[in-house]
C-alpha cells in the first residue's frame, strides 16, 4: 500500500502504541453554553439537537456502558484491543471540575481504554479545567479537540458561534502552557466564505503549528437553521470534486508535523439533506489520495 501523503492520525497511533488503536465516541450528556448558557441564541446554525455528534450514541447509558458496547463492535469488526474514549457531542468540558473528573475516570476505568479525546469549545476552557486535563495528560494519552470552524470573526458571527477567534487563541495559549496537545476542527464550505478566506484560516493553523487538525465538509442537517435556509434555496454546498480540490489545497498549506485526524465526514443518513455524496466516505478519501498523487505533492508542500 502506498504511504499516505499526509500525517494520518491512525498511523501516529500505530507508531505510538505499536498497533492500531480505535476511537469510541461517547455521549456523556453535556450541554453547550451557546444553547443553555443564557445567550438566547439557540445554538450554532449548523448544529442539530444531538450536538452534531456521532450516530447511534445513547446518553441514557453510562459512559462505561457506552464504551463497552463500542468495544464489542470494534472487537468483532477489527479484533481491536485498545481504545481512545472520545467525548464527542456538545461541549465536554462544560461542567464543574469534579463532575468532569468522575466522567473521565469512569472512561479510563474501562479495560482497554488507553486515552481520552475531549471535544469542546474555546469558551469552555477555564484554567481549572485545563489544569484537570493537564493532570490526565501526564498519565494517559490525551487530545483536547477544540471546535473553531474558521479564523474569521465575520464567519463565526454568521454561524452564531458565540465566541471570536481571539477566544480560540487565548484557549490555545493557556492549553499550551500546560503541555496539552490541541486539535482544531475546521469546516470547509461555510456560507459566505470564499477559497482565499479558507486558505487564510489554513495559513493561521500552519503559523500556530497546531498538533492536530480535523477537516469537516459542511453538512446540511434537517432540524437546523442552516437546513431550513438550504431548503429555501439560500445555501449552496460544495460538490465532491470541489471539496477534494479544496482539501488538497488545505493539506498542502498545513504544517507537515500537524496530525490529520479527519479529512471528511459522513452525516447521519436520516437527517442529512446535503451533500449526499458525503455518505460515500471512502470514495472521498480515495479521491483526495488520488489528487495528491496527481499533483505529486504532500502535506506542508506550500506551508509558508
Number of other CB atoms surrounding residue 58 within 10 Å = 10
- Going by C-alpha positions, the residue among 186, 266, 269, 273 that lies closest to residue 226 is 273
Strands 272-274 and 220-221: antiparallel
The closest alpha carbon to 222, from 273, 186, 257, belongs to: 273
Q: Does any domain span residue 136?
A: yes
In-domain check, residue 109: yes
Look at residue 266 in the predicted model and tell me its pLDDT.
77
| 143 lies in some domain | yes
Any domain includes 166: yes
pLDDT digits (tens, 9 = 90+) for 93-131: 999 999 999 999 999 999 999 999 999 999 999 999 999
Residue 302 falls inside a structural domain: no
2: in domain: no
Q: Which residue, 120, 122, 70, is CA-closest to 100?
A: 120
Predicted local distance difference test score (pLDDT) of residue 155: 97
- Into how many domains does the chain fold? 1
Kindly report the backbone phi and psi dihedral angles of residue 212, in degrees, each rounded to the nearest multiple of 5, phi listed first. Answer: -150, 160
State the pLDDT confidence band at 38, using cuts at 50, 70 and 90.
low
Mean pLDDT of 256-273: 92
Q: Does residue 270 sit within a domain?
A: yes
Whether residue 275 is contained in a domain is answered as yes
Dihedral of the alpha carbons of 213, 68, 66, 180, in degrees to the nearest 10 = -30
Give the pLDDT score at 49. Answer: 72
For residue 18, the enclosing domain spans 9-295
The CATH code of the domain that includes 50 is 3.20.20.70
Amino acid at each position: 500500500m502506498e504511504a499516505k501523503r499526509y500525517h494520518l492520525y491512525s498511523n501516529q497511533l500505530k507508531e505510538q502504541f505499536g498497533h492500531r488503536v480505535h476511537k469510541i465516541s461517547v455521549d456523556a450528556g453535556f450541554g453547550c453554553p451557546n444553547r443553555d448558557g443564557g445567550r438566547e441564541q439557540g445554538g450554532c446554525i449548523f448544529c442539530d439537537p444531538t450536538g452534531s455528534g456521532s450516530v447511534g450514541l445513547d446518553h441514557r447509558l453510562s459512559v462505561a456502558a457506552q464504551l463497552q458496547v463500542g468495544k464489542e463492535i470494534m472487537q468483532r469488526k477489527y479484533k481491536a484491543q485498545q481504545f481512545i474514549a472520545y467525548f464527542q457531542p456538545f461541549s465536554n468540558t462544560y461542567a464543574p471540575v469534579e463532575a468532569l473528573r468522575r466522567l473521565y475516570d469512569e472512561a479510563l476505568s474501562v479495560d482497554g481504554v488507553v486515552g481520552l479525546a475531549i471535544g469542546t469549545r474555546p469558551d469552555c476552557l477555564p484554567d481549572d479545567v485545563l489544569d484537570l486535563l493537564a493532570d490526565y495528560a501526564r498519565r494517559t494519552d490525551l487530545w483536547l479537540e477544540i471546535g473553531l470552524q474558521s479564523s474569521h470573526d465575520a464567519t463565526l458571527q454568521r454561524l452564531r458561534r458565540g465566541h471570536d477567534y481571539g477566544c480560540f487563541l487565548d484557549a490555545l495559549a493557556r492549553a499550551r502552557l500546560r503541555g496539552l496537545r490541541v486539535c482544531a476542527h475546521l469546516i470547509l464550505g461555510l456560507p459566505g466564505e470564499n477559497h482565499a478566506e479558507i486558505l487564510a484560516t489554513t495559513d493561521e493553523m500552519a503559523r500556530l503549528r497546531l498538533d492536530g487538525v480535523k477537516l469537516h465538509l459542511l453538512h446540511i442537517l434537517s432540524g437546523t437553521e442552516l437546513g431550513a435556509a438550504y431548503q429555501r434555496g439560500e445555501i449552496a454546498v460544495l460538490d465532491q470534486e470541489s471539496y477534494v480540490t479544496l482539501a488538497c489545497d488545505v493539506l498542502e498549506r498545513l504544517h507537515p508535523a500537524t496530525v490529520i485526524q479527519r479529512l471528511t465526514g459522513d452525516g447521519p443518513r436520516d437527517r442529512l439533506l446535503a451533500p449526499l455524496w458525503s455518505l460515500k466516505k471512502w470514495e472521498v478519501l480515495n479521491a483526495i489520495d488520488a489528487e495528491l498523487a496527481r499533483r505529486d505533492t504532500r502535506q506542508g508542500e506550500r506551508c509558508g
